[in-house]
Amino acid sequence: MKPGGEACVRMPAEWEPHEATWLAYPHLSSDWPGKLSAVRWAMVEFVRKLQAHETVHLLVRDAPEAKRAASMMRRGGADPDLLEVHLCPTDRSWLRDSGPTFVVRDNTLGAVCWRFNGWGRYSNWQLDARVGQFIARACGAAIVEPAVKGRAIRMEGGAIESNGLGTLMTTEECLLGRGGRARNPGLKRDDLEAVLSETLGATNILWLGHGIAGDDTSAHIDTLARFVGPRAVATIVQHDRRDDNHRPLRDNLARLRGMRNQAGCQLEVVELPMPQRLVFDGDRLPASYANFYIGNGSVLVPTFNDPNDKIAIRALEACFPERAVCGIHCVDVAVGQGALHCLAQQQPKIPRQETPADSRNRR
């Protein structure tokens, strides 16, 4: 408890033990024109790798889709019998953003359900706006709906990154951006920091600047920089001065090198390369090695048939020596403007509370 009896809340780090990982079966062909089948096979591989260490929950739109998904899982080496399947209509499969942000409040599970509106870019988001509460109810989590002055907070899980100890990372472009796609017009930095403190237990908020070219989320942190330890951050860099990403990533790197965690310790910064420019139908894709996902026993890294794939994997192996660091091919997934981390939402494991009977049995 906090001084005064107020309940403590904390957003666990992704490397802390998971109860499960939540995913949604890809189905929107307009997000992946000509690529949907390949994206589904990438999802099968994602599930196969995760199942070795944790439960996987899969949202499907209906019973026929559940049957199709089970068939693909079986053919691809994943075990459909180990999947926890839920019938839940969705617009898209990016559960990092439509799903809840899980927190722990005095040893109970909470689910922060932000007001989702399709990143302010798409008209088909109404089904996804219900996903957070569906998942929260399915796992028995207490629902939290953040609001300021009676206004629900528009945000997504990909916009925030936690080290589990009170330090949170986000970006100014995403949460403080102005104009037609501003998420919360009229709210200032102090307002948003108060929300992050109250709902996620943030005591130290680190603000990076702008995101990479092609990112339709307006600079989600999970394409830019990720905590890989209580005081360590892996961030993408672009040394080619001719590339559009050079200046914003140079600025983010400089900021990180001057930042400290909640204990006042200077951050250890691990540099990840950018893959070479990836284009589909004339548009640059936001391909980034920072969009890796930390599972219970593995770190799953998006790869892009690029010479830098191996460099990124080696850098993350040094950060996670006790986990298997594996690549999953994501060129086709990136056509939909995301990768592995965008697809997944971890449900933290709540430590089991000891009962009087447990204590007696140990005597």
Query: Is residue 33 situated within a structural domain?
Result: yes
What are the 10-residue block averages of pLDDT along the chain, 363 residues in total? 62 98 97 97 98 97 97 97 97 98 96 96 96 98 94 96 98 86 89 96 98 96 98 97 97 98 98 97 97 98 98 98 97 98 97 57 45
Could you give the residue ranges of the DSSP H alpha helices within the chain? 36-51, 63-75, 95-98, 131-138, 172-176, 189-200, 246-257, 308-319, 331-334, 340-343, 356-361
> Half-sphere exposure of residue 255, counting CA atoms within 13 Å on the CB side?
21
Residue 225's domain is classified under what CATH number? 3.75.10.10
- Distance, CA of 227 to CA of 163 (rounded, Å): 6
Query: Is residue 273 situated within a structural domain?
Result: yes
- What are the beta bridge partners of residue 186? none
pLDDT for position 362: 45
Query: Is residue 70 situated within a structural domain?
Result: yes
**Radius of gyration over alpha carbons of the chain, in Å?**
20
pLDDT for position 142: 97
Query: Is residue 4 situated within a structural domain?
Result: no
Query: Is residue 2 situated within a structural domain?
Result: no
35 residue type, one letter: K
Number of domains comprising the chain: 1
Closest CA to 130 of 173, 170, 100: 100
Buried b (16+ CB within 10 A) or exposed e, 211-249: bbebbbbbbbbbbbbbbbbbbebbbbebeeeeeebeebb
160 with 102: CB under 8 angstroms?
A: no
Query: Is residue 3 situated within a structural domain?
Result: no
Query: Is residue 359 situated within a structural domain?
Result: no
Distances in whole angstroms, Cα of residue 227 to Cα of each of 1, 16, 65, 319: 26, 12, 35, 10
pLDDT for position 314: 98
Domain of 195 in residue numbering reads as 9-351
pLDDT for position 337: 96
Closest CA to 196 of 225, 161, 149, 234: 161
- Among 88, 319, 330, 342, the active-site one is 342
Query: Is residue 357 situated within a structural domain?
Result: no
pLDDT for position 180: 58
Per the structure block, which two tokens stand in for 181? 């796609």
pLDDT for position 77: 97
- Distance, CA of 213 to CA of 44 (rounded, Å): 28
342 flagged as catalytic: yes
